[in-house]
Structure 1
Protein backbone atom coordinates (compact mmCIF):
# COMPACT_ATOMS: atom_id res chain seq x y z
CA UNK A 1 0.00 0.00 0.00
CA UNK A 2 1.29 3.50 -0.91
CA UNK A 3 1.61 5.75 2.10
CA UNK A 4 -0.09 9.15 2.12
CA UNK A 5 3.26 10.85 2.61
CA UNK A 6 4.55 9.31 -0.63
CA UNK A 7 1.60 10.81 -2.52
CA UNK A 8 1.61 14.23 -0.83
CA UNK A 9 5.31 15.06 -1.49
CA UNK A 10 5.16 14.79 -5.30
CA UNK A 11 1.90 16.77 -5.33
CA UNK A 12 3.48 19.54 -3.24
CA UNK A 13 6.47 19.67 -5.59
CA UNK A 14 4.20 20.09 -8.60
CA UNK A 15 2.24 22.84 -6.84
CA UNK A 16 5.42 24.68 -5.91
CA UNK A 17 6.72 24.54 -9.48
CA UNK A 18 3.39 25.81 -10.79
CA UNK A 19 3.41 28.68 -8.29
CA UNK A 20 6.91 29.64 -9.41
CA UNK A 21 6.00 29.49 -13.08
CA UNK A 22 8.02 26.35 -13.66
CA UNK A 23 11.36 28.07 -13.05
CA UNK A 24 13.03 31.46 -12.81
CA UNK A 25 11.31 34.30 -14.65
CA UNK A 26 13.40 36.40 -17.03
CA UNK A 27 13.10 40.14 -16.65
CA UNK A 28 11.93 41.88 -19.83
CA UNK A 29 14.65 43.86 -21.55
CA UNK A 30 14.67 47.61 -21.24
CA UNK A 31 13.92 49.48 -24.50
CA UNK A 32 17.60 50.42 -24.87
CA UNK A 33 18.80 46.86 -24.18
CA UNK A 34 16.23 45.50 -26.66
CA UNK A 35 17.49 47.92 -29.33
CA UNK A 36 21.13 47.01 -28.68
CA UNK A 37 20.30 43.31 -28.87
CA UNK A 38 18.52 43.87 -32.20
CA UNK A 39 21.47 45.86 -33.60
CA UNK A 40 23.98 43.19 -32.64
CA UNK A 41 21.73 40.48 -34.12
CA UNK A 42 21.10 42.60 -37.27
CA UNK A 43 17.37 42.09 -36.73
CA UNK A 44 15.92 44.92 -38.82
CA UNK A 45 12.32 44.35 -37.78
CA UNK A 46 13.26 44.54 -34.10
CA UNK A 47 15.45 47.61 -34.71
CA UNK A 48 12.49 49.39 -36.32
CA UNK A 49 10.31 48.37 -33.37
CA UNK A 50 12.65 49.77 -30.72
CA UNK A 51 14.43 52.72 -32.38
CA UNK A 52 11.69 55.17 -31.35
CA UNK A 53 13.61 55.64 -28.08
CA UNK A 54 16.12 57.63 -30.17
CA UNK A 55 13.59 60.17 -31.46
CA UNK A 56 15.22 62.86 -29.31
CA UNK A 57 18.74 61.82 -30.37
CA UNK A 58 18.89 62.79 -34.01
CA UNK A 59 22.54 61.91 -34.64
CA UNK A 60 22.23 58.49 -32.97
CA UNK A 61 19.06 57.81 -34.94
CA UNK A 62 20.92 58.70 -38.14
CA UNK A 63 23.62 56.13 -37.32
CA UNK A 64 21.05 53.42 -36.61
CA UNK A 65 19.03 54.14 -39.76
CA UNK A 66 22.13 54.02 -41.94
CA UNK A 67 23.06 50.69 -40.37
CA UNK A 68 19.64 49.37 -41.29
CA UNK A 69 20.47 50.07 -44.94
CA UNK A 70 23.69 48.13 -44.49
CA UNK A 71 21.79 45.21 -42.96
CA UNK A 72 19.47 45.29 -45.99
CA UNK A 73 22.62 45.27 -48.16
CA UNK A 74 21.77 48.54 -49.89
CA UNK A 75 25.18 50.25 -50.19
CA UNK A 76 24.07 52.67 -52.92
CA UNK A 77 21.18 53.99 -50.81
CA UNK A 78 23.50 54.28 -47.85
CA UNK A 79 25.90 56.34 -49.98
CA UNK A 80 23.05 58.57 -51.14
CA UNK A 81 21.66 59.06 -47.62
CA UNK A 82 25.03 59.81 -46.06
CA UNK A 83 26.15 62.77 -48.18
CA UNK A 84 25.02 65.41 -45.69
CA UNK A 85 26.40 63.38 -42.79
CA UNK A 86 29.86 63.29 -44.41
CA UNK A 87 30.13 67.07 -44.05
CA UNK A 88 29.11 66.98 -40.40
CA UNK A 89 30.71 63.78 -39.15
CA UNK A 90 32.96 65.76 -36.77
CA UNK A 91 29.81 66.63 -34.78
CA UNK A 92 29.28 62.96 -33.92
CA UNK A 93 30.82 61.30 -30.87
CA UNK A 94 34.03 59.28 -31.19
CA UNK A 95 32.21 55.95 -30.85
CA UNK A 96 29.59 57.01 -33.40
CA UNK A 97 32.36 58.04 -35.79
CA UNK A 98 34.04 54.63 -35.41
CA UNK A 99 30.79 52.87 -36.38
CA UNK A 100 30.09 55.34 -39.17
CA UNK A 101 33.56 54.93 -40.64
CA UNK A 102 33.15 51.16 -40.99
CA UNK A 103 29.68 51.54 -42.49
CA UNK A 104 30.83 54.19 -44.95
CA UNK A 105 33.84 52.12 -45.96
CA UNK A 106 31.53 49.16 -46.65
CA UNK A 107 29.05 51.31 -48.57
CA UNK A 108 31.41 53.47 -50.65
CA UNK A 109 33.63 50.52 -51.52
CA UNK A 110 30.81 49.02 -53.60
CA UNK A 111 30.35 51.81 -56.18
CA UNK A 112 34.08 52.58 -56.19
CA UNK A 113 34.84 48.91 -56.85
CA UNK A 114 32.28 48.73 -59.63
CA UNK A 115 33.58 51.87 -61.33
CA UNK A 116 37.23 50.84 -61.10
CA UNK A 117 36.80 47.20 -62.17
CA UNK A 118 33.83 47.33 -64.56
CA UNK A 119 35.90 47.61 -67.74
CA UNK A 120 38.27 44.89 -66.57
CA UNK A 121 35.68 42.11 -66.47
CA UNK A 122 36.02 40.09 -69.67
CA UNK A 123 34.42 36.71 -70.26
CA UNK A 124 35.65 34.89 -73.36
CA UNK A 125 33.70 32.20 -75.15
CA UNK A 126 36.03 29.66 -76.69
CA UNK A 127 35.64 25.89 -76.46
CA UNK A 128 34.71 26.74 -72.88
CA UNK A 129 34.05 29.90 -70.91
CA UNK A 130 37.17 31.82 -69.86
CA UNK A 131 37.81 34.80 -67.60
CA UNK A 132 40.50 36.98 -69.18
CA UNK A 133 43.25 38.61 -67.07
CA UNK A 134 42.15 41.81 -65.31
CA UNK A 135 44.39 44.85 -65.45
CA UNK A 136 43.67 46.19 -61.96
CA UNK A 137 45.89 48.19 -59.65
CA UNK A 138 43.95 49.99 -56.95
CA UNK A 139 47.16 51.47 -55.56
CA UNK A 140 47.41 53.83 -58.51
CA UNK A 141 44.37 55.68 -57.17
CA UNK A 142 45.68 58.05 -54.52
CA UNK A 143 43.55 60.62 -52.74
CA UNK A 144 45.30 63.53 -54.51
CA UNK A 145 44.82 64.49 -58.17
CA UNK A 146 42.42 61.65 -58.91
CA UNK A 147 41.14 63.54 -61.93
CA UNK A 148 44.54 63.00 -63.53
CA UNK A 149 44.48 59.23 -63.02
CA UNK A 150 42.49 57.24 -65.54
CA UNK A 151 40.02 54.73 -64.13
CA UNK A 152 39.86 56.09 -60.55
CA UNK A 153 36.47 56.82 -59.03
CA UNK A 154 35.73 60.39 -58.01
CA UNK A 155 33.83 59.00 -55.04
CA UNK A 156 37.14 58.41 -53.31
CA UNK A 157 37.49 62.15 -52.74
CA UNK A 158 34.19 62.32 -50.86
CA UNK A 159 35.46 60.04 -48.08
CA UNK A 160 39.21 60.58 -48.10
CA UNK A 161 38.94 62.77 -44.98
CA UNK A 162 37.48 59.75 -43.14
CA UNK A 163 38.90 56.68 -44.89
CA UNK A 164 42.55 56.51 -45.88
CA UNK A 165 43.60 55.43 -49.36
CA UNK A 166 45.33 52.41 -47.82
CA UNK A 167 42.14 51.29 -46.03
CA UNK A 168 40.06 51.73 -49.15
CA UNK A 169 42.52 49.86 -51.35
CA UNK A 170 42.78 46.98 -48.87
CA UNK A 171 38.99 46.70 -48.91
CA UNK A 172 38.85 46.80 -52.71
CA UNK A 173 41.51 44.08 -52.91
CA UNK A 174 39.42 41.94 -50.54
CA UNK A 175 36.43 42.38 -52.85
CA UNK A 176 38.53 41.49 -55.90
CA UNK A 177 39.63 38.29 -54.16
CA UNK A 178 35.96 37.32 -53.68
CA UNK A 179 34.94 38.21 -57.23
CA UNK A 180 34.97 35.29 -59.69
CA UNK A 181 35.01 37.82 -62.54
CA UNK A 182 38.37 39.26 -61.54
CA UNK A 183 41.44 37.41 -62.78
CA UNK A 184 44.68 38.72 -61.28
CA UNK A 185 46.84 36.14 -63.09
CA UNK A 186 48.40 36.44 -66.54
CA UNK A 187 46.44 33.51 -67.99
CA UNK A 188 42.83 32.93 -68.97
CA UNK A 189 40.94 31.09 -66.23
CA UNK A 190 38.38 28.43 -67.06
CA UNK A 191 36.24 26.11 -64.97
CA UNK A 192 34.05 27.15 -62.04
CA UNK A 193 35.31 30.74 -61.92
CA UNK A 194 34.09 31.46 -65.45
CA UNK A 195 30.71 29.84 -64.83
CA UNK A 196 30.28 31.70 -61.52
CA UNK A 197 31.23 34.97 -63.17
CA UNK A 198 28.68 34.52 -65.93
CA UNK A 199 25.96 33.54 -63.45
CA UNK A 200 26.69 36.60 -61.29
CA UNK A 201 26.66 38.93 -64.29
CA UNK A 202 23.32 37.51 -65.45
CA UNK A 203 21.87 37.99 -61.97
CA UNK A 204 21.38 34.27 -61.37
CA UNK A 205 23.92 34.18 -58.55
CA UNK A 206 24.62 36.72 -55.82
CA UNK A 207 28.26 36.99 -54.80
CA UNK A 208 29.07 38.51 -51.41
CA UNK A 209 32.10 40.64 -52.19
CA UNK A 210 32.20 42.35 -48.79
CA UNK A 211 30.40 41.47 -45.58
CA UNK A 212 28.38 44.02 -43.63
CA UNK A 213 30.41 45.18 -40.59
CA UNK A 214 29.54 43.80 -37.16
CA UNK A 215 29.58 45.81 -33.94
CA UNK A 216 29.60 44.62 -30.34
CA UNK A 217 26.93 45.47 -27.76
CA UNK A 218 29.40 47.67 -25.85
CA UNK A 219 30.04 49.69 -29.01
CA UNK A 220 26.35 50.26 -29.60
CA UNK A 221 25.74 51.14 -25.96
CA UNK A 222 28.47 53.79 -26.08
CA UNK A 223 27.13 55.12 -29.38
CA UNK A 224 23.59 55.36 -28.00
CA UNK A 225 24.71 57.00 -24.75
CA UNK A 226 26.82 59.59 -26.59
Structure 2
Protein backbone atom coordinates (compact mmCIF):
# COMPACT_ATOMS: atom_id res chain seq x y z
CA UNK A 1 0.00 0.00 0.00
CA UNK A 2 1.20 3.48 -0.90
CA UNK A 3 0.28 6.10 1.68
CA UNK A 4 -0.12 9.71 0.57
CA UNK A 5 0.57 11.66 3.74
CA UNK A 6 -2.37 13.82 4.76
CA UNK A 7 -1.44 17.15 6.36
CA UNK A 8 -3.83 19.50 4.53
CA UNK A 9 -1.12 20.66 2.13
CA UNK A 10 -3.05 20.44 -1.13
CA UNK A 11 -2.73 18.55 -4.44
CA UNK A 12 -3.60 15.23 -2.77
CA UNK A 13 -6.63 14.55 -4.99
CA UNK A 14 -4.53 14.79 -8.15
CA UNK A 15 -1.83 12.55 -6.68
CA UNK A 16 -4.41 9.92 -5.71
CA UNK A 17 -6.01 10.18 -9.15
CA UNK A 18 -2.64 9.61 -10.81
CA UNK A 19 -1.98 6.56 -8.65
CA UNK A 20 -5.43 5.18 -9.46
CA UNK A 21 -4.80 5.76 -13.17
CA UNK A 22 -1.77 3.47 -13.07
CA UNK A 23 -3.66 0.86 -11.03
CA UNK A 24 -1.95 1.41 -7.68
CA UNK A 25 -3.63 0.90 -4.32
CA UNK A 26 -3.14 4.09 -2.34
CA UNK A 27 -4.71 5.89 0.58
CA UNK A 28 -4.64 9.43 1.92
CA UNK A 29 -3.83 9.12 5.61
CA UNK A 30 -2.19 10.69 8.64
CA UNK A 31 -2.58 7.45 10.61
CA UNK A 32 0.79 6.73 12.21
CA UNK A 33 0.49 2.94 12.03
CA UNK A 34 -0.42 3.02 8.34
CA UNK A 35 2.56 5.29 7.63
CA UNK A 36 4.92 2.97 9.50
CA UNK A 37 3.67 -0.14 7.67
CA UNK A 38 3.34 1.35 4.16
CA UNK A 39 5.23 0.01 1.15
CA UNK A 40 5.99 3.60 0.22
CA UNK A 41 5.15 7.17 1.19
CA UNK A 42 4.33 10.22 -0.89
CA UNK A 43 4.61 13.65 0.74
CA UNK A 44 2.73 16.09 -1.49
CA UNK A 45 2.44 19.80 -0.89
CA UNK A 46 1.38 23.21 -2.13
CA UNK A 47 1.92 26.25 0.09
CA UNK A 48 4.51 27.65 2.47
CA UNK A 49 7.38 25.80 4.13
CA UNK A 50 6.79 27.10 7.70
CA UNK A 51 3.05 26.35 7.66
CA UNK A 52 3.63 22.87 6.26
CA UNK A 53 6.23 21.96 8.88
CA UNK A 54 4.00 23.39 11.63
CA UNK A 55 1.11 21.18 10.49
CA UNK A 56 3.31 18.07 10.28
CA UNK A 57 4.45 18.77 13.85
CA UNK A 58 0.90 19.47 15.05
CA UNK A 59 -0.19 16.08 13.76
CA UNK A 60 2.83 14.35 15.29
CA UNK A 61 4.03 13.23 11.87
CA UNK A 62 7.63 14.49 11.78
CA UNK A 63 8.98 11.76 14.05
CA UNK A 64 6.74 9.16 12.38
CA UNK A 65 7.98 10.00 8.88
CA UNK A 66 11.58 9.92 10.11
CA UNK A 67 11.00 6.56 11.79
CA UNK A 68 9.44 5.15 8.60
CA UNK A 69 12.36 6.32 6.45
CA UNK A 70 14.91 5.03 8.98
CA UNK A 71 13.11 1.70 8.75
CA UNK A 72 13.69 1.60 4.99
CA UNK A 73 10.35 2.79 3.61
CA UNK A 74 10.87 4.81 0.39
CA UNK A 75 9.60 8.40 0.39
CA UNK A 76 8.78 10.69 -2.53
CA UNK A 77 8.33 14.41 -1.84
CA UNK A 78 6.44 16.41 -4.49
CA UNK A 79 6.79 20.20 -4.94
CA UNK A 80 6.64 21.63 -1.39
CA UNK A 81 7.01 18.05 -0.19
CA UNK A 82 10.42 17.92 -1.90
CA UNK A 83 11.43 21.23 -0.34
CA UNK A 84 10.62 19.88 3.12
CA UNK A 85 13.20 17.12 2.62
CA UNK A 86 15.97 19.71 3.17
CA UNK A 87 17.53 20.82 6.44
CA UNK A 88 15.80 24.19 6.52
CA UNK A 89 13.69 26.63 4.55
CA UNK A 90 14.05 30.41 4.30
CA UNK A 91 10.46 31.19 3.25
CA UNK A 92 9.12 34.00 5.46
CA UNK A 93 11.27 32.81 8.35
CA UNK A 94 14.00 30.23 8.91
CA UNK A 95 12.32 26.90 9.56
CA UNK A 96 13.83 23.49 10.28
CA UNK A 97 12.86 20.84 7.73
CA UNK A 98 12.86 17.04 7.74
CA UNK A 99 16.62 17.04 7.02
CA UNK A 100 16.72 13.90 4.88
CA UNK A 101 18.84 15.65 2.26
CA UNK A 102 21.49 18.29 3.02
CA UNK A 103 20.53 21.72 1.76
CA UNK A 104 18.44 24.85 2.13
CA UNK A 105 15.19 25.90 0.45
CA UNK A 106 15.69 29.40 -1.01
CA UNK A 107 13.66 31.86 -3.09
CA UNK A 108 14.20 31.77 -6.85
CA UNK A 109 15.91 35.03 -7.90
CA UNK A 110 13.44 37.00 -10.03
CA UNK A 111 14.56 38.39 -13.37
CA UNK A 112 12.56 40.23 -16.04
CA UNK A 113 12.64 37.27 -18.38
CA UNK A 114 12.06 34.79 -15.56
CA UNK A 115 9.17 35.90 -13.35
CA UNK A 116 8.52 34.23 -10.01
CA UNK A 117 6.67 31.97 -9.43
CA UNK A 118 8.26 29.62 -11.94
CA UNK A 119 5.10 28.32 -13.58
CA UNK A 120 4.67 26.11 -16.61
CA UNK A 121 6.35 23.37 -18.61
CA UNK A 122 10.13 23.02 -18.59
CA UNK A 123 12.39 20.32 -19.97
CA UNK A 124 14.54 18.18 -17.71
CA UNK A 125 18.30 17.76 -17.95
CA UNK A 126 19.31 14.50 -16.29
CA UNK A 127 22.43 15.09 -14.18
CA UNK A 128 22.89 11.56 -12.88
CA UNK A 129 20.95 8.34 -13.11
CA UNK A 130 18.65 7.27 -10.32
CA UNK A 131 15.80 4.80 -10.02
CA UNK A 132 13.39 7.47 -11.33
CA UNK A 133 15.31 9.17 -14.15
CA UNK A 134 15.29 6.62 -16.98
CA UNK A 135 13.99 8.16 -20.20
CA UNK A 136 13.61 11.67 -18.78
CA UNK A 137 16.35 13.54 -20.67
CA UNK A 138 14.69 16.47 -22.46
CA UNK A 139 11.18 15.53 -21.36
CA UNK A 140 8.88 18.37 -20.27
CA UNK A 141 7.20 18.47 -16.86
CA UNK A 142 4.95 20.99 -15.09
CA UNK A 143 6.31 23.34 -12.40
CA UNK A 144 4.59 25.78 -10.04
CA UNK A 145 6.92 27.14 -7.34
CA UNK A 146 8.73 30.21 -6.01
CA UNK A 147 11.42 28.45 -3.98
CA UNK A 148 14.09 25.90 -4.89
CA UNK A 149 16.21 23.37 -3.04
CA UNK A 150 19.81 24.53 -2.86
CA UNK A 151 21.44 21.13 -2.38
CA UNK A 152 24.91 19.73 -3.21
CA UNK A 153 25.33 18.41 -6.76
CA UNK A 154 25.76 14.88 -5.43
CA UNK A 155 22.03 14.78 -4.64
CA UNK A 156 20.70 16.37 -7.87
CA UNK A 157 19.35 13.82 -10.36
CA UNK A 158 17.72 16.24 -12.81
CA UNK A 159 17.55 19.99 -13.27
CA UNK A 160 15.59 22.63 -15.17
CA UNK A 161 16.92 25.93 -16.49
CA UNK A 162 15.03 28.97 -15.17
CA UNK A 163 17.34 31.96 -14.60
CA UNK A 164 19.36 29.54 -12.50
CA UNK A 165 19.72 25.77 -12.57
CA UNK A 166 16.69 24.56 -10.61
CA UNK A 167 17.07 21.13 -8.99
CA UNK A 168 14.07 19.29 -10.41
CA UNK A 169 14.71 15.83 -8.95
CA UNK A 170 16.86 15.00 -5.95
CA UNK A 171 17.50 11.91 -3.89
CA UNK A 172 19.55 10.42 -1.10
CA UNK A 173 19.32 6.70 -0.40
CA UNK A 174 15.60 5.85 -0.63
CA UNK A 175 14.31 9.43 -0.23
CA UNK A 176 13.36 11.11 -3.51
CA UNK A 177 12.04 14.52 -4.47
CA UNK A 178 10.34 16.02 -7.52
CA UNK A 179 10.07 19.81 -7.56
CA UNK A 180 7.56 19.66 -10.42
CA UNK A 181 4.17 17.99 -10.29
CA UNK A 182 4.40 14.50 -11.83
CA UNK A 183 0.65 14.11 -11.25
CA UNK A 184 0.11 17.05 -13.65
CA UNK A 185 2.86 16.13 -16.13
CA UNK A 186 1.03 13.72 -18.42
CA UNK A 187 2.52 10.36 -19.35
CA UNK A 188 6.02 11.51 -18.35
CA UNK A 189 4.85 12.23 -14.82
CA UNK A 190 2.84 9.02 -14.58
CA UNK A 191 5.97 7.14 -15.62
CA UNK A 192 7.92 8.69 -12.75
CA UNK A 193 5.22 7.68 -10.28
CA UNK A 194 5.21 4.15 -11.74
CA UNK A 195 8.97 3.92 -11.25
CA UNK A 196 8.63 5.04 -7.65
CA UNK A 197 5.89 2.48 -6.97
CA UNK A 198 8.03 -0.27 -8.53
CA UNK A 199 10.90 0.78 -6.28
CA UNK A 200 8.58 0.58 -3.26
CA UNK A 201 7.32 -2.86 -4.22
CA UNK A 202 10.85 -4.14 -4.71
CA UNK A 203 11.89 -2.71 -1.33
CA UNK A 204 8.90 -4.33 0.37
CA UNK A 205 9.86 -7.70 -1.13
TM-score by length of 1: 0.34
The structure with more radius of gyration:
1
Structure showing the higher strand proportion among its residues:
2
TM-score by length of 2: 0.36
